[in-house]
Amino acid sequence: MKNVKPIFLLASTLAITVFALGCKQKNKETGKDQGEWIQLFNGANLDNWTAKIHHYEVGDNFGDTFRVKDSILQVRYDNYKGHFNERYGHLYYDQPFSNYHLVVEYRFVKGWYGTAPDYTLLNSGVMFHSQDPRTMPKEQDWPISVEMQFLAEVNKGESRPTGNMCSPGTDVVYEGQIDPRHCISSSSDTYPVGEWVRAELIVHADSLITHIINGKKVLEYSKPQIGGGVANRYDESIKIDGTPLKEGFIALQSEGQAIDFRKVELKILEE
C-alpha cells in the first residue's frame, strides 16, 4: 500500500500531460501550434516571399532590390540606373494573416538613392493588412494597406520617432475618431543609422492595433479600414471605402533607402 499514492500521482500526471498535448490547437492555415513562433524569413533565401515594384509586374524583383546575404535580408539599389522614378517596392510574404504578433528587427544602413523623394531618406517600413500583390496593376504605386513606418535620425539631436502609422488607401480610428492624417507619429525614441531596432506589431483583425519599439508601447489605434488617399492607379473594384480590414498580407518596404532585416517572425493569436 505504500506505493499506491505515488503510482496514482504518476498516472494522473501522465494523463494530464497527454491530454494537454492533445488539446494543443493548430492553426488551420500554417499547421503550426497556436502560439508557436513562425519564422517568415528563414535566414537563407526569399522562399515564400514575392516582390512587387512600381512599374514592374508582380514577381519581378527588379535590380535584385531584395536579397539575402550573410543571413540578412537586404534592401539595396546598386543595380538601379538613372532617376529613381518612383520605383517603390514591397516584398510580400505569400500568406495573409489576421490575428497575430509580428516581430521585425531592422537597421538602417548607408545607401539612399539620391533621386528618390527627400522624404524617403532613412525611411522604410512594414506593411500589413495589405491587399494581395497579385491584385495590383503594374502602375499601382502603393498597396492598399496599413504601414508601421520606420525612421532613423537625420540630424543629430533632432527627434524623429520610429514605429509610426501611415495609411496608403486606408483609414484608422485614433483617439475615438477616424484620423485624417496620412501618418500618425509614435512616442518612440530616435535611433541612429546602424543600430538594430526591435519593432513589434500586435494585430487583432479589424479591432485593436498596437506598435511596440524596443519593448515599449509607442502607439495604439483601432478599426483599420479601406479609405483615404495616397495609393494611386489601383483596381477600383478593390478599393471599397469603409470596408473593415480583418486580414491581409505582410510586406517589407523599399522606397529608396537601404535597410537590413535580420528577423521577421510571427505568432498566431487567438481570435
Give the domain ranges of the chain: 1-25, 35-268
C-alpha dist (Å) from residue 222 to 28, 102, 200: 26, 17, 16
Of the candidates 177, 175, 187, the one whose C-alpha atom is nearest the C-alpha of residue 211 is: 187
- Cβ-contact 162, 191 below 8 angstroms: yes
φ, ψ dihedrals at 9, nearest 5°? -65, -40
φ, ψ dihedrals at 128, nearest 5°? -145, 170
At which residue does the C-alpha cell 537597421 appear? Answer: 107
pLDDT reported for residue 181: 95
Tens-digit pLDDT string for the chain (271 aa): 334 333 333 333 333 333 333 444 555 544 555 579 999 999 999 999 999 999 999 999 999 999 999 999 999 999 999 999 999 999 999 999 999 999 999 999 999 999 999 999 999 999 999 999 999 999 999 999 999 999 999 999 999 999 999 999 999 999 999 999 999 999 999 999 999 999 999 999 999 999 999 999 999 999 999 999 899 999 999 999 999 999 999 999 999 999 999 999 999 999 8
Q: What angle do CA 105, 71, 68 make, to 5 degrees?
A: 95
Of the candidates 161, 99, 107, 152, the one whose C-alpha atom is nearest the C-alpha of residue 128 is: 99
C-alpha dist (Å) from residue 49 to 40, 52, 68, 125, 130: 9, 10, 12, 16, 14
Of the candidates 123, 131, 88, 90, the one whose C-alpha atom is nearest the C-alpha of residue 251 is: 90
- In this structure, whether the domain defined by 35-268 belongs to CATH 3.30.70.260 is answered with no
pLDDT reported for residue 265: 98
pTM of the model: 0.87
Terminus-to-terminus CA distance in the chain, angstroms? 49
257-268 and 99-112 beta bridge pairing: antiparallel
pLDDT reported for residue 35: 76
pLDDT reported for residue 9: 34
Residue 8, C-beta contacts closer than 8 angstroms, at least 6 positions apart: none
C-alpha dist (Å) from residue 131 to 43, 128, 178, 235: 25, 9, 21, 11
Interval 116-133: pLDDT, tens: 999 999 999 999 999 999
